[in-house]
Amino acid sequence: MDAVEIAGAWTPEEGSRRARELFEDRHPGAPDGVWAAPGRVNLIGEHTDYNGGLCLPIALPHRTYVALRRREDDEVHLASAFEGEVLGWDGALSDLHPGGVAGWAAYAAGIAWALAEAGTPVTGFDAALSSCVPTAAGLSSSAAVECAVGLALDEVNDLGMGGSDEGRADLVRIAVRTENEVVGARTGDLDQSAALRTSAGNALLLDCLDGSARQVPFDLDAAGLELLVIDTRATHSHATGAYGQRRATCEAAAKILGIRTLREITDLDAALAVLKDEGLKDEVEGQKSQDAQEMVRRVRHVVTEIQRVRDFVALVDAGRLLEVGPLMNASHDSLRDDYQVSCPELDVAVDAARAAGAIGARMTGGGFGGCAIALIEADRRDAVARAAVEAFAEHGFGIPRIYVAVPSAAGGRVG
């Protein structure tokens, strides 16, 4: 077999050029500027964000670029080029509300509605988007779109949010509202925080209970390591019932336990006992006790995953990066067995990476498809990538795409 191809990201210059060329092809004149926001990989802490937990993402060098120009009226004109397909959308600010716009335009322009709802209305705009963030891969291509456009609208309307971490935290909340209400996906704030609050060379320890964040040095080169991303190409979408159902289950469990979020659980065994007892009551009343068993599994994953984030960060802070593998492995096993958001392609990718000598491997993102990550010694890149490709062929899956994830900077103006 030939060497496995490792897919790279565009340089900022190339991304800016692509967005400008599309803009000038679809709109007369030049844009006011070009802004970009990254995709992300979550190192650990999955499905913890909407439970008030902890998570640890890094920004990718792969970015969505938007060339944008402010208008003096309320018209909105969009063009996008994602993976070779060029699409357009034309409307008005009044169309950008829940139920008023669907598909890719909801991500690309819905944030204008959320900005107005937050008390910071914007004018109409022309925009052209081009991206090298893989779509439907669990690498947060949707948040990259929202945040790139949000940064552009913030600057051309002089809103002042993009210049500080506090302002960017506000923009995160606005982007999340876009995803929750305009798009209709009940996600937490992990993805948008990674796009707007990360810094190069660091992971972002995000506390989703109070919104605080800390930059955690994550120097893979110094440790002789790399982080491989294995895109299974299995269909992935947050705007599905399965994701929302898991969030609803967690919220129901918190209500039974009399707490606001599952982050507040301090005695896991006691909490699970309460949920089991509640299930027995339901069974007596003729309802399905399996619902309680499912709730127990979901809660167990969330609470143990939050602790795994703490343990992971403690090891990184202590310079013991080589020891995080068991935590990554346990995270995937919990997501597969307790939270049940893995899929055959993800499991094959993880198993192949582990068998080929990865320090640790797990799915990343919301699940139901998307990507796995593998922490590896740098000189094992070809061996691990080849193992994944061969395992996919043996199982009759398509050829996975392989990326190297480098902790990169948050979004901002690039041209």
Asked whether residue 42 is assigned to any structural domain, the reply reads yes
- Coil, strand or helix: which one is 389? helix
Regarding whether 246 and 146 lie in a shared domain, the answer is no
Note the Cα 359 to chain centre separation in Å: 23
Average pLDDT over residues 90-99: 96
Instruction: Say how many C-beta atoms besides its own lie within 10 A of residue 18's C-beta.
Output: 20
CA 355 to chain centre: 27
Strand intervals (E) in 179-328: 202-207, 213-217, 225-231
Task: Looking at the structure, tell me whether residues 154 and 27 fall in a common domain.
Answer: yes
Q: Poorest-confidence range of 27-31, 38-42, 289-293?
A: 289-293
Model pTM? 0.93
CB atoms within 10 A of CB 268: 15
Q: Kind of pairing, strands 125-131 and 54-55?
A: unpaired
Q: In whole numbers, what is the pLDDT of the chain averaged over residues? A: 93
368 phi, psi to nearest 5 deg = 60, 25
In this predicted structure, what is the pLDDT of residue 1?
41
Residue 2 DSSP one-character state: P
Q: Which of 4, 321, 358 is CA-nearest to residue 350?
A: 358
pLDDT, greater one: 241 or 214: 214
Does residue 43 sit in helix, strand or coil?
coil
Q: Which residue has the higher pLDDT, 317 or 278?
A: 317
Residues 284, 340, single domain; the answer is yes
Same domain for 194 and 233, yes or no, is no
So what's the pLDDT on residue 277? 87
Domain, as residue range, for 176:
6-216+408-413
Residue 313 and residue 379 in one domain? yes
Please give the average per-residue pLDDT across 336-344, as a whole number. 97
Strand ranges of the sheet holding 371-377, from the earlier edge strand across to the other edge: 6-7, 401-405, 225-231, 371-377, 360-364
Q: What is the pLDDT of residue 137?
A: 79
What's the pLDDT score for residue 231?
95
Instruction: Identify the active-site residue in 49, 126, 191, 231.
Output: 191
Q: Is residue 204 part of a domain?
A: yes
pLDDT score of 282: 54
Q: What is the pLDDT of residue 2?
A: 47
For residue 25, what is the domain's CATH number?
3.30.230.10
User: Are 210 and 67 members of one domain?
Assistant: yes
Q: What percent of the chain has pLDDT over 70?
A: 95
Q: How many domains does the chain have?
A: 2
Residue 134 has pLDDT above 70, yes or no: yes
Quick one: pLDDT at residue 257? 97
Strand partners, 38: 63
Whether the predicted pLDDT of 232 surpasses 90: yes
Residue 340 belongs to some domain of the structure: yes
**1 inside domain:** no
Question: Is the pLDDT assigned to residue 8 strictly greater than 90?
Answer: no
Q: Going by C-beta distance under 8 Å and a sequence separation of 6 or more, which residues neighbour residue 37?
A: 63, 64, 143, 144, 145, 146, 147, 148, 150, 151, 195, 196, 410, 411
Regarding whether 166 and 234 lie in a shared domain, the answer is no
**240 pLDDT tier (thresholds 50, 70, 90):** low
In a domain, 27, yes or no: yes
Same domain, 316 and 199: no
pLDDT at residue 284, as a whole number? 46
Q: Are residues 202 and 276 in the same domain?
A: no
Q: Which residue has the tokens 């061996």?
A: 383
Mean pLDDT of 63-79: 97
The verdict on residue 265 lying in a domain is yes
pLDDT at 6: 67
Among 4-8, 123-127, 163-167, name the one with the lowest average pLDDT. 4-8
User: Do 173 and 302 reside in the same domain of the chain?
Assistant: no
3 against 136, higher pLDDT: 136
| CA separation for the pair 134, 7 (Å, rounded) | 10
| Domain assignment of residue 192, yes or no | yes
Say how many Å lie between the first and final Cα of the chain, rounded: 41
286 pLDDT tier (thresholds 50, 70, 90)? very low
The reported pLDDT for the residue numbered 82 is 76
In a domain, 71, yes or no: yes
Instruction: Give yes or no: residues 196 and 247 share one domain.
Output: no
Identify whether 191 is a catalytic site residue: yes
184-225 pLDDT, tens digit each: 888 889 999 999 999 999 999 999 999 999 999 999 999 999
Count helices and strands (H / E) in the chain: 11, 14
Structure tokens at 394: 């043996």
Between 167 and 243, residue with greater pLDDT: 167
- The torsion angles phi and psi of 70, rounded to 5 degrees, stand at -70, 140
CATH code at position 261: 3.30.70.890
Q: What is the pLDDT of residue 280?
A: 65
Helix (H, G, I), strand (E, B) or coil at 320: coil
Predicted confidence (pLDDT) at residue 7 exceeds the cutoff of 90? no
Mean predicted confidence (pLDDT) in 108-124: 96
Is there a single domain that holds both residue 92 and residue 111? Answer: yes
Residue 248, pLDDT score: 94
Q: What percent of the chain has pLDDT over 90?
A: 86
